[in-house]
Structure 1
Amino acid sequence: MQVFLQLGLGLVLLASQYAPGTAVPSSGCRRQCGTVEIPYPFGIDPGCSLAEGFDLSCKVQDGVQKPFKGAFEVLDISLTEGTTRVLNYILGYCYNTSTGSMEYFGRYAGFNEGDPSSPYRFSDVQNKFTVIGCNALILIYDFDATGYQGLGVATCRNLSDLVDGSCSGMGCSQTAIPKRMYYYDIAFSEIVNTSEIWEFNRCSYVVLMEAAAFKFSTAYVSTNKFNETYDGRVPMILDWAMRDVKSCDVAEQNKTGTYACLSSNSKCVNSTNDQGYMCNCTNGYEGNPYLRDGCKDVNECNHNPCPSDGFCRNIGGEYQCSCGLGKKYIQKSNTCNTNIVLTIGVTMGIFGLMVIIMFTVFCGQIIMQKRKLKKVKQEYFHQHGGLLLFDKMKSEKGLAFNVFSEAELIHATDNFDNSRILGKGGHGTVYKGILKNMPVAIKRCAVVDERQKKEFGQEMLILSQINHKNIVKLLGCCLEVEVPILVYEFVLNGTLFELIHGRNQALQISFSTLLRIAHEAAEGLSFLHSYASPPIIHGDVKTSNILLDDNYMAKVSDFGASILAPSDKEQFVTMVQGTCGYLDPEYMQTCQLTDKSDVYSFGVILLEILTGQLPLKLEGSEKQRSLSLIFLSAMKENNLDAVLASHVKGQESMELLTGLADLAKKCLDMCGENRPSMKEVADELNRLRKLSVHPWARLDIETNAENLLGGESTSGYEIELSGYPTGESEDLPINPGSSYYAR
């Protein structure tokens, strides 16, 4: 009678209570254990899995984190295939030469009778019972779950009969298993053993393992190499699924209950190994179907699936190919072919019906274009915060701000005629316009970034309430265009840049007049920084943005392109703001625009007044190009006299000039925190202005400015200053033929 030693082998890792739910896991759940990703519905922390059956543990073994299910190490988890790869233990039956008897080795811990409600089943497709030996007879059975029983036999007379890679019974055999197995028993035959052939085959082995991971070697029979190669454990594949219902038909009827496919772009797939189901993303989507919004659209166009002369358009879950004019897309061959019949037919049809339908089509197109244009304008209006502006204007009836239509501004500028251009630059073009019998400056901005688009209406409300004698008044805007148009008050008499560097630079401008203009500009910037709510950072302070009105009073312009003082991550900008020569070096390093950035730029303006030089030259060495570097070097060498303009030294005391230079030096400090505030700068300029009035000639400064600028020039130059808030000049030095500059 045949005698077997029986071993019960049901996976304890499968014997976990299974009770699925639809709770969303916490965002704090760990999803990595060592190098293994732990996707939901699995989890390694309490409350992080779909059900107890999907709980894993993350342990440290040999100094490395590894995930385990019971006693079995988890190698990887596949959501799309519904499989888990684990390490199963090799069982051996060996002849002990010391005792002269057969003994068993291998780890049996982790096996018992299993649990039919577990999510796991042994993969019948990817696993095989593998037997190695020359006298091995092993019974494999599962009487309770499937009634299966199989026999693994491996025999050989001598080692020369064995062939590497062949596992067909000679020294090695592999046996398939049925579906639905969640536990199995193994029985070694005690009669068929290796006691008689121990000299060349001492052990027999059996294990359920991934078939693709095994390749037979003849050395496995004559040595312990099989156990040593795999270190006592081999890969095994487990099929997992939601086993609480039989199929998708039943599961989908209870979508509000325990249905696990939570993503809107997921689908239910019946398990191929016993009852139950799993979830997959639908075609054109990828990700985790067990999470809400876990399945994301795949952009197939990234892989260029269409013909090289065609066009790909990605749409939700799929893509569409199209071809150019006169070609037709052939899906079967994925090609663009010339559509001769269609081309000839359309041409003849258009020619024959042209006279009849021309008028109808023309009228229809006009109507459609008008409707489309109206819709686009409405979209732009809403996008730029037009409703917010209207609501605010209704609630504050005294608000001196207007929202203009595009038609009004077209009429005011003669359809933006070139003859109306006051100036242009990289950021826009400024036109002179007439609105309600009043001259205005209308600026068409070149671009507005996405952040400004979202907050444009809110920022316009804030900027419209800025009312200071030294700041150009923002009168209104137009929002029904892609890039909003700004409307400013019209300022007539040019810029401080022209006064210092432009065609009127030869005029004997009083230094006290320049000092007054600088002081007034500082007062305007101080107001933006300190008294506007919220504070406003100009971002492009320079002499060409300081305008002069009829009385040659300074007016800071172009603050409509500024930013509100930021309070969050939005203060870190990616596009460089400002003009070369005026840019804060600290901003260039941190990309953080602050009020001290304006202070630095204002320091450069003070240098222009003191030296009469441009802030940046295109010739010479690096140190000779930057006015600020030249100045700071001179201050360091205590040689201020070398950089001062000759006409400046002749007009004012060194006490005043030294004080102004010291103020400029503080403004140009490389560390923004060490720079004074704009209010402190304005106060210091006010103090210095008093020094410029000599005790023996206390003439009114404004009268002096009028005599120098408003009267007839003794140098023979006629003053023809004009200008408006525009920004940086396009060329340095300024073209004497143009008196207006825009950035």
Structure 2
Amino acid sequence: MADQFEVLCNDSTRPPRLFLASSAVTYQKNGEASISNASARVVLDEAAISPSPIELLDIAVAANEVRAYGAVSSYCIKSPAEQVLKLQLTSVGPSNTSWPLTLSMKRNALVGVGMNMQARLARRMYMDLPSLDALTSCSSVAAIDDFYSPENGSCVGYGCCKVPFAGRAGRRAPIDLSEFAVSFRPGNQLDWEEYPCSYGMVVETSWYNFSTPELYGYEVLPKKLQRGVPFVLDFAILNGSCPAKGQQPPPGYACASSNSFCTNTNTTGYVCHCIQGYEGNPYITNGCQDIDECKDPYLCPRRMQCINLAGSYECKCKSGTMIGAGGECIDIISTIAKVVAGGVGFILLLVILFIIIIQKEKRKTKGFYQKNGGLILENANFLKLYQKKELKPILKSMNFIGKGGFGQVYKGVLRNVLVAVKKPINGSVLENEQFANEVFIQSQINHKNIVRLIGCCLEVDIPMLVYEFLSKGLLTEKSDVYSFGVVILELISRERATYSNNNSLVRKFVEAHKKEVKSTEYFDKEIAVTRDLEILDCLAEVAVECLGLDVDQRPTMTEVAERLLKLSRSREL
């Protein structure tokens, strides 16, 4: 059986051409005869004509069909005494023998083109006046008037005729043709000068489209269709039939794909098909493959998604929708509910963000509190620790009363007490434990001549100090002694009280004095001349006394003024 389906590829041409290999039983013969007497019977000697293989156009495994090329037969008259007949005999299998290839009765038709002509389908290559042995035929008559004249695309008997093999009223359809040839009725060519040729062909039913210019000129149609016209062959598996339901397939069963099924033909044999939802070649293992129907974007209704299944598909509602009463997908949650849910979700998001910000701020505040010595100052009974939110109303531009080297000063009421809040500039305050110790000491000092430190706020990066507010004229003679000591230090060192990297000039100078380090190391080099060193040392002593932690031990401003006056007089001497 494999030999009967064998094909040959001629790759010497471009593109390559495909032919049936069994040339002994499948072939085409092209014959030609010159005729001088139109009424005489003409029979071509088929045995003397060399066969040629049948060229294939394509193979449709799913339809169990093969399309092949066939020639256009012609009967042309150059003059009443000079006529040329060209016929083709096509054999698709041996006569009276089962063969897998047969001429398709459903897909082919006999077509004739010409005026006052008759195209005939026969089993032999001949032309004769009687048509008793013709298998089928069709006739084309001359135009009667403009109403009955040839038209492009029309093949109803005026310039073109057509009879499908599948059967037609008043016509006899051929069955199981193994050999066939197209011939003509001789003679009756009254209009041969205008319409010199008649044509006939077995052609795929839907392929040929008649054109009126084909009626005029010599051998117009064969020249136009030099390769031929396509006709359809059916193929089947012979010497067997489909197994009954539940029966095991017989040996050599051709339907090899697991996703295939078998159908018996009208004659002998069977054919194989891929089951629904599969495509491919059912005659080989795994030849039938699943069709992905979901590649078609319009397969499922709107708002449905396509799910490919083995041999099938399913349309399901998309996420968030469901099947409604009308069979369409509708939203599970209404639009109003979506808006409400979206609003609630937005509010919850804002609440969560607010909580996160509050928690972050609390952690930040706690970190500042611990960094600024809050754990130490919690034990100071005379010192109040204020929260940042308590000082916030005071730290407004309308409450600003002054600015110094330490920072900005604001006036306000805090817990029913008139206070002055000092907001330091960056780097103007001691850090951590040292700051806490100094604030702890200052909070215990309660003297009529000193501005009392009420408390502080440690919940910021640089702590803020809260002092008792004293109006102008209420300062005593010792109120500014400490500040004056700072001024003296800045003058003799020519450095700010707080300079780079948060270094404190006061702390540095006092610690050096305690360690009995010479003060001359802190004097500005430009003023530290030999004759002024004694005066500079005296000024340094005054500054140290003014900066004493014990307020009672500090000199008064009057005493400081007297000592400075003495230094001035001694320098004049």
- Normalised to the residue count of structure 1, the TM-score between the two structures is 0.34
Q: Counting strand residues as a fraction of each chain, which structure ranks higher?
A: 2
- Normalised to the residue count of structure 2, the TM-score between the two structures is 0.44
